[in-house]
Amino acid sequence: MEENIRFTVKINDRDNVAIALYDLKKGQTIEDGITVQTDIPQAHKVLLCDLKKDDAVIRYGVMLGTLKEDMKAGSWINEYSLNLPLRPSLENLPYATHLKDVNELPMPKRTTWFGYRNKTGPAGTRNLLGIVTTVQCAAGVVKKAVERIKRELLPLYPNVDDVVAVTHPYGCGVAINAPDAVIPIRAIRNLIKQPNFGGEIMVVGLGCEKLTFDRVLDEKDNTPENTLLLQSFPGYKAMMDGLMEMAKKKLEKLNQRTREELPLSELLIGMQCGGSDAFSGVTANPSAGYAADMLVRGGGTVMFSEVTEFRDGVHILASRCVDREQRDKLVAEVGWYDRYLEIGRVDRDANPSPGNKAGGLSNIVEKAMGSIAKSGTASISEVIGPGEKPTKHGLICACTPASDIVCGPSQVASGIGLQVFMTGRGTPYGLEIAPVLKVCSRNEMKSHWFDMIDISAGDVATGKKTIKEVGEEIFNFILDVASGIKQPYSDQYGFHNDMCIFNPAPIT
């Protein structure tokens, strides 16, 4: 082995596997004089000692599973090597046993940013006119209206950043009174009040759908000034004229908004990861977690999500809940999700994708341990359901699905003004309502997508940078994007995914 060259990275002293920093070749000698038994791809696990069948494989200091057969040091551990352990029980979970005083978190050098103050809730990072549909039937007309508004009206209102059509596959042909219908309805209600929309309400329905205005608007907001039914108009031209006139009135009000210097307590951001690999929990996620800790220390609010990706660490998260009430909410939300998966006859290990496994993640336990790193170390001040709005500052656990294209809209409905998205494999994912900045786990990913990834955390793995250094870089980028100083690549190119509202309720 060449002197002072690292070939692998190990997370915890208890670990009996390490991650290959580069592709390893059979016969190669790595740290501790271990001989590699077979070619091992970058990011995959190398066994550090001889183990017998049924012995535990340890990474992050936790058991990923047990071996299916005897294996020698230097062997390749992958998804075919392990038996999945039982999921952690939700019974008698600890709470408030691993709380961290906010003063123990890293102090940010910047404690203000420039945003659009709202009457209630967090401030906006953008000044948008949002046109929300109550049913997919209205989506086509609304999208055409937005094209005209952008072309004919938006240039007249220079303080308004954009016009967004918020369409979704819900509203009719659904069991509107089913117990789980509360989830999509809550999300749509909260999307209408998204902080980046500045309190201006424009809701468009068809006229015969089940999701009526009174289900998504408070009585004071359910007025002709804020709502429009397409079936009330005699033909397409009349519809468009009505939409244009309504939009003009909203744009006039939004144009009066300007950015002002605000405390971090007015900022709500989301943390999400997708296309993860085995480096995600080593570099990108813990660096984002450091930035999250800085935001919380400064008074800001940070939301992390993805139930199936933290399910195997639920006991760790429970111990960080500030009180019994939040622990009980965590148990209730995760228990609901367990039952949801059971109804579909799938296990939690259905989560890892082929790309995750190609990136070295063997099973959901390993993915979960890396995923929760993006939450940082702060105490969990509140646990909320998908699309629910937080009522507290600090670190928020939002119990959303893990799917990128469902988690993102759920966090947007919960009021985030910006999302930090960690990836190992790469994805062009983006949100139209809130800017998304991308952090990759490997320098190879940044080199490959040099003009699509905003920040690389890859130097953490090689030791060229620390988690603190990359975390501070992410923190500063967050404030610059939130303040309108910088624009992430996803916004520069207009990479915006559909608003896929989570709907576990029946479709009739």
User: Using N-to-C axis directions, what is the helix angle for 139-148 and 236-254, rounded to 10°?
Assistant: 60
> Is the separation of the CB atoms in 17 and 46 below 8 Å?
yes
pLDDT below 70 — which residues of the chain?
A: 1-4
- C-alpha count within 13 angstroms, C-beta hemisphere, residue 302: 27
Provide the pLDDT for residue 5.
81
Ranges of each domain in the chain? 1-85, 128-254, 267-493
The dihedrals phi and psi of 304, each to the nearest 5 degrees, come to: -120, 160
- Burial zone of 242 (CB within 10 Å; 0-12 exposed, 13-18 middle, 19+ buried): middle
Spatial CA neighbour of 303 closest among 186, 469, 418: 418
**Alpha-carbon gap, residue 196 to 355, rounded angstroms:** 33
**Alpha-carbon gap, residue 390 to 109, rounded angstroms:** 26
Provide the pLDDT for residue 233.
97
User: What fold, for 128-254?
Assistant: Rossmann fold (3.40.50)
**Alpha-carbon gap, residue 157 to 7, rounded angstroms:** 56
**Alpha-carbon gap, residue 283 to 461, rounded angstroms:** 6
Provide the pLDDT for residue 1.
47
> Is the separation of the CB atoms in 42 and 23 below 8 Å?
yes
CATH architecture of the region 1-85: Roll (2.30)
Provide the pLDDT for residue 178.
95
pTM of the model: 0.95
What is the tally of helices (H) and strands (E) in the chain?
15, 20
**Alpha-carbon gap, residue 277 to 53, rounded angstroms:** 26
